[in-house]
Structure 1
Amino acid sequence: MTSASFHPTITLPASLCEQAAQHLEQAVQRAVDGAAAPWRAFRRAESSDYTLSVSVVEQAAASLLVLAAESAQSMRPSALRALISVALHLRDAADATRRPTFTTTLW
């Protein structure tokens, strides 16, 4: 396996995946570009212990933020906050995979 074919994965909490799948379904219904692939991946994630490709998680977060921007005027504030919260949790989880881990050992 070459490094070019390696796709880092992340395991997310079940509740976050379920919420993301619901919001992504709304994004697909509103024809948000790029929402269909992550929606399908999140729907299938239950069978794989909620393990997803980091790139799919990033794409899902971006799609949800687009959905939030497009529907901000028509959504209840609480629903908009929930949508943005899920998107930011996904983005933060993806970002966390790129941060170096710190060790507690001294030089």
Structure 2
Amino acid sequence: MTSSSFQRTIALPAPVCEQAAQHLEQAAHRAIDGAAIPLKAFRAAADNDFILPATIVEQAAACLLVLATETAQTVRPSALRATISVALRLRDAAELSHQPAISSRFW
């Protein structure tokens, strides 16, 4: 009997994916470690109905938080809020993917 690995995926709204791709582009230009992989995935997300592996979403959120930290003193507050907002939406989506679909309290 063979076992197949189950990879959690997350369906994100198109605007969130587009915003994340824009911010990840900035992260890649600033050479933030690990930004290239999620950037490529988010660019291709439209071809997959905006469904991404949870690990990629988590990595993207971390990269965007690093970007926010590194640019906090040099960008407009609105730009900083936009970056943080997208990062937190990605992080929240990734955290939700770790929760079981059915709570044991209903059993």
TM-score, normalised via structure 2 length:
0.91
Alignment correspondent of 2:60: 60
Alignment correspondent of 1:45: 45
Which amino acid is the alignment partner of residue 25 of structure 1? E
Question: Following TM superposition, by how much is the alpha carbon of 1:99 offset from its aligned partner in structure 2, in angstroms?
Answer: 1.5
5+ unaligned residues in a row in structure 1: which ranges? none
Query: Aligned pair count?
Result: 106
Question: Following TM superposition, by how much is the alpha carbon of 1:2 offset from its aligned partner in structure 2, in angstroms?
Answer: 2.6
Structure 1 ranges of 4+ moved more than 2 A: 100-103
Moved more, 79-88 or 5-14: 5-14
Alignment correspondent of 2:20: 20
5+ unaligned residues in a row in structure 2: which ranges? none
Which amino acid is the alignment partner of residue 23 of structure 1? H
Q: Percent identity?
A: 62
* CA distance in structure 1 between the aligned counterparts of 2:83 and 2:71, rounded to whole angstroms: 10
TM-score, normalised via structure 1 length:
0.91
* CA distance in structure 2 between the aligned counterparts of 1:34 and 1:17, rounded to whole angstroms: 17
